[in-house]
Structure 1
């Protein structure tokens, strides 16, 4: 597993610092997500996943830094556990997964169509990564929340039972429920 400096250099080599994203560039977004996961107490592997979560593109952001079939390259960079979480995040079919995730614990893979059931700890890490990503976008562009308040309220409320405690408080602040 490479260190954080190597991972950030890899991201920049792939042009993430030139891709526009709410709040600046994709690179800045990836860094903020990783730092936020650190602030709420996640392990280095989850932080590394946060830093590289867009490597395979996502259901909401098509740009991929490498093809999902090239998973070994990212594994060599961030380690098996972080890469597995990045793959899970990038491959997630959000329409078929997100609202039922806390109850079912299942993630539908948009690349292969397979369904994977997550253990409780991995479920919280996956939901926290997903939530921190969405929160960063909303913090950078509050208009997105205002235009889609009902959707985010339903989503964040559904996720609340499996979200880590510091993020539950943040959900309440963002949604205006103290």
Structure 2
């Protein structure tokens, strides 16, 4: 990771904030590394590195205020910051958004409905997959819930994920799920 990225994250005290039984910094770095390993472009990887920097619908701990988005944008670029912003500030019902076109997400900040194109929605689903897989080993009491989410992701969004993401998701399900994939109800 580039020094300017690490410096920004550390200046936001991500190393001092707890997330899934370790620091937020470790989680963000891990998500970035997974996206990199899967062969995603730099904007998606950087969005993964900052995917909960403004807080999310489940992780409420904001590292930087939304009014300071321009500071993040200067370091990671427009496309990456826009994806990170959408990940943080929408209800994250990315797979549900696939049900009809055009694709819409709901802001948890303003309650407005935000139209997103297929490219952005694919990127957000890819980031969510990396986010889930990165947390999985650290959330021992939530493994069943995460396995259910991963299975739903595979079933409903497989064509929107990279081949490497699908392979990683299947590997986790095969290794940790006690029931055959086809028999488990979502």
**TM-score interval (norm. to shorter):** 0.7 to 0.9
Query: Which among 125, 141, 144 is matched to residue 142 of structure 2?
Result: 144
Deviation at 1:67, TM superposition (A): 1.4
Partner Cα separation in structure 2 for residue 61 and residue 36 of structure 1: 20
Q: 1:118 to 1:145 in 2, by over 3 A?
A: same
Q: 1:134 to 1:27 in 2, by over 3 A?
A: same
Report the secondary structure of 2:157's partner residue: helix
Q: Which residue of 1 aligns with 2:96?
A: 100
Deviation at 1:133, TM superposition (A): 0.6
What pairs up with 1:59-70 in 2 under 5 angstroms?
59-70=57-68
Q: Which residue of 1 aligns with 2:132?
A: 134
Rg: which structure is higher?
2
Query: Which among 2, 5, 8 is matched to residue 4 of structure 1?
Result: 2
Partner Cα separation in structure 1 for residue 146 and residue 29 of structure 2: 25
Size of the aligned set, in residue pairs, is: 174
TM-score, normalised to structure 2, is 0.83
Partner Cα separation in structure 1 for residue 151 and residue 172 of structure 2: 9
Unaligned runs of 5+ in 1: none
Q: Is the 8 A contact 1:40 1:166 kept in 2?
A: yes
Query: Which among 23, 33, 36 is matched to residue 35 of structure 1?
Result: 33
| Structure with more of its chain in helix, by fraction | 1
Q: Is the 8 A contact 1:30 1:50 kept in 2?
A: yes
Partner Cα separation in structure 1 for residue 140 and residue 152 of structure 2: 17
RMSD over aligned Cα, in angstroms?
A: 2.1
Q: Is the 8 A contact 2:46 2:80 kept in 1?
A: yes
Which ranges of 4 or more aligned residues in structure 1 deviate by more than 4 Å? none
